[in-house]
Amino acid sequence: MSPRFRTLFLIIFGMILAPRLGLAQEGWQQQVLAKVQNGAVLAVDEKGKVLFSHQADKPFMPASTLKVATSLAALNILGENYRYKTDFFTDGSGNLYVKGYGDPFLISEELALIAAQLKAKGLKGVKNMILDGSYFGPDVQVPGLAGSLNPYDAYNGALLANFNTINIVKSGGEIRSGEDQTPMTEITRVLAANAPAGKSRINVATHEKEAALYPGYLLKEFLAQQGVEVGGSISQGTVPGDAKLFLSYASSKNLREVLEAALKYSQNLVMNQLALTMGAVKYGAPASLGKAKKALDEFLTKEVGLKDFNIEEGSGISRQNHITALEFSIQVPRLGAFRGFAQPSLQPTRGHRLPALREPAVALIF
């Protein structure tokens, strides 16, 4: 395994890494043990010396710390300059076909840029808009999702907008957009029907059919702002063989920028979009959970050198994920290899932090 990946991997997994953890307090080991009722702890210094170990050879759920491993796999498989694309096709009847490839950051600001480019390319009007999500197969919903309105339970898909969530304000029976950059659409009220009063961001999983059309309705509003009218229906379908490519839009964010944001905010949907994309790139479309798992497993065994683990998806939400702290500590890395990324917003599984330490160290708590 390359030194770079070994270095990155320990930082990725299980981390509660304060900027400068060290050994200042007497009896800090006992303080840690008092907080870890049923879990594992492994603390090592920058040279790999074990400072403290407790049940480090037993498997536990890595939870959201798994996200950095998924990030490393993406850097290895896709490359840090990888950009998601969204393709737009036209036919002889004036219809516009939109084909998605899993872009997790197809957000309002991006759709506004797309609408401007479609106008600049000469799009005058649209009869019907057809949304093609066939790059992802039916087997893409990750284990561990609870089907709630919380954003972390949002569903994955090849063509989705704003992380499959809506940001709305609901007051006195009125519903309005909760963010200036996102216009209201014809189906926003349907998607927000079960939202609580006040301002909230909710996922739209409870309205699967309408949610699948939401990117099209948002694009329709942005096209209208450009003076391009969508006069007919918005529906799901596939791009016909005789349709002509009108625009292939590359995301404004490269993979490194996607990862910085996803790690900072610990975004489950983004991480699983990446895992699904890796599977499709390595083993062919359509993307599936099985291909995503295979891509992650292959990276962790061949590039990182892990042997005893189980990974079911890429975000850490599944309770079937497990790994030992010792597996993470293979040839403890230098911290500097992960420099340049925003510090991940990752929390230990049980929400505990180590006491203040004096010397630089990496602590893994599951």
Measuring CA to CA, which residue among 47, 59, 75 is closest to residue 263? 75
Please give the model's pTM, rounded to 2 decimal places: 0.84
Residue 230 and residue 148: Cα distance in Å, rounded?
A: 33
Give CA separation, 6 vs 51, 122, 132, 172, 243, in Å: 19, 49, 39, 55, 46
Measuring CA to CA, which residue among 350, 338, 363 is closest to residue 21? 363
List the CATH code of the domain at 85-253. 3.50.80.20
Residue 48: count of CB within 10 angstroms of its CB: 14
Task: Give the model confidence (pLDDT) of 178-237 as tens digits.
Answer: 999 999 998 888 888 778 899 988 888 778 888 899 999 999 999 999 999 999 999 999
pLDDT at 46: 67
Residue 174: count of CB within 10 angstroms of its CB: 8
Task: Give the model confidence (pLDDT) of 133-152 as tens digits.
Answer: 999 999 998 888 877 767 77
Residue 138 and residue 324: Cα distance in Å, rounded?
A: 32
- For the four alpha carbons of 45, 303, 323 and 254, in that order, the dihedral sign comes to positive
Helix (H, G, I), strand (E, B) or coil at 198: strand
Q: What share of the chain is helix, strand, coil (3-state, %, to 5)?
A: 35, 20, 45
Six token digits for residue 199: 């301002």
Ordered by start, the domain boundaries in the chain are 3-80+301-365, 85-253
Measuring CA to CA, which residue among 278, 298, 296, 299 is closest to residue 287? 278
pLDDT at 187: 87
Measuring CA to CA, which residue among 65, 132, 82, 70 is closest to residue 272? 70
Residue 205 and residue 259: Cα distance in Å, rounded?
A: 24
DSSP string, 37-63: SS--EEEEETT--EEEEESTTSEE--G
Positions of the chain with pLDDT under 50: 1-24, 331-339, 342-363
pLDDT at 308: 86
pLDDT at 26: 59
pLDDT at 16: 35
Contact (CB, 8 A) for 276 and 156: yes
Give CA separation, 294 vs 9, 63, 119, in Å: 18, 19, 41
